[in-house]
Amino acid sequence: MIETILKYNFLQNAIMAAVLASIACGVIGVYIMEKKLVMMSGGIAHTAFGGIGLGYFLKIEPIFTALGVSVIAALAVAALKRKAMTDSDLLIGMFWSLGMALGVVFIAMTPGYPPDIASVLFGNILAVSRSDLRLILGLDILVLTTVTAFYQMFKAYIFDEEFASVAGVPVRTLEYLMYVLVAVTVVVMIRVVGIILVIALLTAPPAIAKQFTYDMKKIMALSVLLGIGFCFAGLWVSYTVRLASGASIVMVAVGAYALVSLVRFGLRRRGGTAREA
Indicate the domain borders of the chain.
2-276
For range 177-205, the mean pLDDT: 85
Arithmetic mean of pLDDT over the chain:
85
pLDDT tens digits, residue range 47-75?
Answer: 888 999 999 899 888 888 988 999 998 88
Q: Is 156 buried (19+), middle (13-18) or exposed (0-12) by CB count in 10 A?
A: middle
d(CA 143, CA 145): 6
d(CA 183, CA 176): 11
For range 95-120, the mean pLDDT: 84
Please report the pLDDT score of residue 81 as a whole number: 74
Please report the pLDDT score of residue 6 as a whole number: 59
pLDDT class of 40 with cuts at 50, 70, 90: confident
Is the pLDDT score of 41 beyond 60?
A: yes
pTM of the model: 0.86
Percent of the chain residues past pLDDT 70, beyond the cut? 92
d(CA 25, CA 125): 15
Please report the pLDDT score of residue 274 as a whole number: 58
pLDDT class of 209 with cuts at 50, 70, 90: very high
Of 106, 136, 128, 130, the closest CA to residue 20 belongs to 136
Cα–Cα–Cα angle for 218, 206, 97, rounded to 5 degrees: 145
Q: Is 107 buried (19+), middle (13-18) or exposed (0-12) by CB count in 10 A?
A: buried
Residue 216, SS3 per DSSP? helix
Cα 172 to its chain centre, rounded Å, is 22
Please report the pLDDT score of residue 168 as a whole number: 84
The amino acid at 258: A
pLDDT tens digits, residue range 117-147?
Answer: 777 777 778 788 888 888 888 888 999 999 9
pLDDT class of 275 with cuts at 50, 70, 90: low
Pick the CATH number of 2-276 from 1.10.3720.10, 3.40.50.970, 1.10.3470.10, 3.40.50.720: 1.10.3470.10
Please report the pLDDT score of residue 277 as a whole number: 55
Helices and strands (DSSP H and E) totals, the chain: 12, 0
